[in-house]
């Protein structure tokens, strides 16, 4: 049977096997999908070992840049992102790398959550690989402005310069910003440590600003709690992004697009009950 995998370290928490199992049931595709703990110092050999028989892999932290270097060919968006979260073995045995994170984020925001991005003022928190992977799809939505805020401003400035040709993108320090924005996306890992990015609550326009955390959990993340306490119109987690980027991968491998809505509903119910 065709086999697929998600690589990460740690990986035990991954919902990807459950997501792809539901996709396979829904579409009637015959496949296996498991998780694999890759050694921190030896991702390449672990991945190449899997691909002796496996057909495709998702790649999560901390291996997205390793996967970028391992791929024999890259899609244009993976090239620009400098990171790969999706590997596919082609007919000639070579590996194609793609990055579906940004498409997953935009689909979750616009389709699942009904958020308009065109003409909006977007604030993106962080300047790591997660940000790099979503900048192009966000700018394709034609926001009026997109500001990358980061503790180390130099990193944000480098990203803004790298993506400047795609739209109105600028860099800032966390403490430079006070004026309200329409959408705040937290792409830092602060929520994993129970922390918050050090930004002003005045960035939230009460009843209007949409706040989105790329992290997720059974309970609202610290960023989501902070957003609601300061009057955000809505605070969303990144679980929908995870499911949507998985759907991109599934279609990439199998040529059939799964319906994400029932999968999201099932898994959220399971998380709430666990």
Q: Are residues 76 and 203 in the same domain?
A: no
Q: Are residues 114 and 217 in the same domain?
A: yes
What is the mean pLDDT of the segment spanning 170-195? 93
Question: Please, which residues bridge with residue 236 across strands?
Answer: 212
Q: Are residues 65 and 80 in the same domain?
A: yes
On the question of pLDDT at 184 being above 90, the answer is: yes
Q: Are 101 and 130 in contact (CB under 8 A)?
A: yes
- 265 is a catalytic site residue: no
Q: What is the pLDDT of residues 216-229, one digit of tens each?
A: 988 999 999 999 99
Give the model's pLDDT for residue 189.
84
185 DSSP assignment: E
* Pairing of β 169-173 and β 95-98: unpaired
Quick one: which H or E segment has residue 20?
Answer: helix 16-27
Give the model's pLDDT for residue 37.
97
Specify if 63 maps to a domain: yes
Q: Are residues 125 and 217 in the same domain?
A: yes
Q: Which domain does 13 fall in, by range?
A: 2-99
Specify if 263 maps to a domain: no
On the question of pLDDT at 2 being above 90, the answer is: yes
Q: Are residues 158 and 199 in the same domain?
A: yes
Phi (first) and psi of residue 169, to 5 degrees: -115, 135
Q: Are residues 82 and 180 in the same domain?
A: no
pLDDT classification of 190: cutoffs 50, 70, 90 = confident
pTM for the full predicted model:
0.94
Question: Helical H runs in 121-254?
Answer: 129-140, 153-163, 222-229, 239-254
Q: What is the pLDDT of residues 62-106, one digit of tens each?
A: 999 999 999 999 999 999 999 999 999 999 999 999 999 999 999
Q: Are residues 11 and 74 in the same domain?
A: yes
Specify if 272 maps to a domain: no
CA distance 41 to 23: 32
Q: Which CATH number characterizes residue 190's domain? A: 3.40.50.720
Q: Are residues 16 and 136 in the same domain?
A: no
Q: Are residues 7 and 49 in the same domain?
A: yes
Catalytic residue among 64, 89, 155, 265: 64
């Amino acid at each position: 049977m065709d086999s697929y995998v998600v690589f990460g370290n740690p990986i035990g928490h991954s919902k990807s096997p459950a997501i792809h199992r539901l996709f396979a049931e829904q579409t009637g595709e015959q496949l296996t999908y498991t998780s694999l703990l890759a050694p921190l110092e030896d991702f390449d050999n672990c991945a190449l070992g899997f691909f002796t028989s496996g057909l495709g892999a998702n790649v999560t932290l901390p291996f997205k840049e390793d996967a970028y270097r391992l791929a024999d060919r890259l899609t244009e968006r993976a090239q620009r992102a400098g990171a790969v979260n999706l590997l596919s073995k082609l007919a000639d045995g070579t590996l194609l790398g793609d990055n579906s994170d940004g498409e997953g984020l935009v689909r979750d925001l616009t389709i699942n959550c009904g958020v308009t991005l065109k003409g909006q003022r977007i604030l993106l928190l962080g300047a790591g690989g997660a940000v790099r992977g979503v900048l192009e799809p966000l700018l394709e939505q034609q926001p009026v402005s997109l500001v990358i805020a980061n503790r180390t401003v130099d990193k944000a400035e480098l990203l803004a310069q790298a993506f400047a040709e795609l739209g109105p993108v600028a860099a800032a320090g966390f403490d430079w910003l006070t004026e309200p924005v329409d959408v705040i996306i937290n792409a830092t890992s602060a929520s994993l440590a129970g922390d918050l990015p050090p930004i002003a609550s005045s960035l939230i326009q009460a009843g209007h600003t949409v706040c989105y955390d790329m992290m997720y959990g059974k309970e609202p993340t610290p960023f989501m709690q902070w957003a609601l306490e300061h009057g955000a119109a809505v605070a969303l987690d990144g679980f929908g992004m995870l499911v949507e980027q998985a759907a991109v991968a599934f279609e990439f491998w199998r040529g059939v697009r799964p319906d994400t809505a029932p999968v999201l509903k099932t898994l959220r119910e399971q998380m709430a009950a666990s």
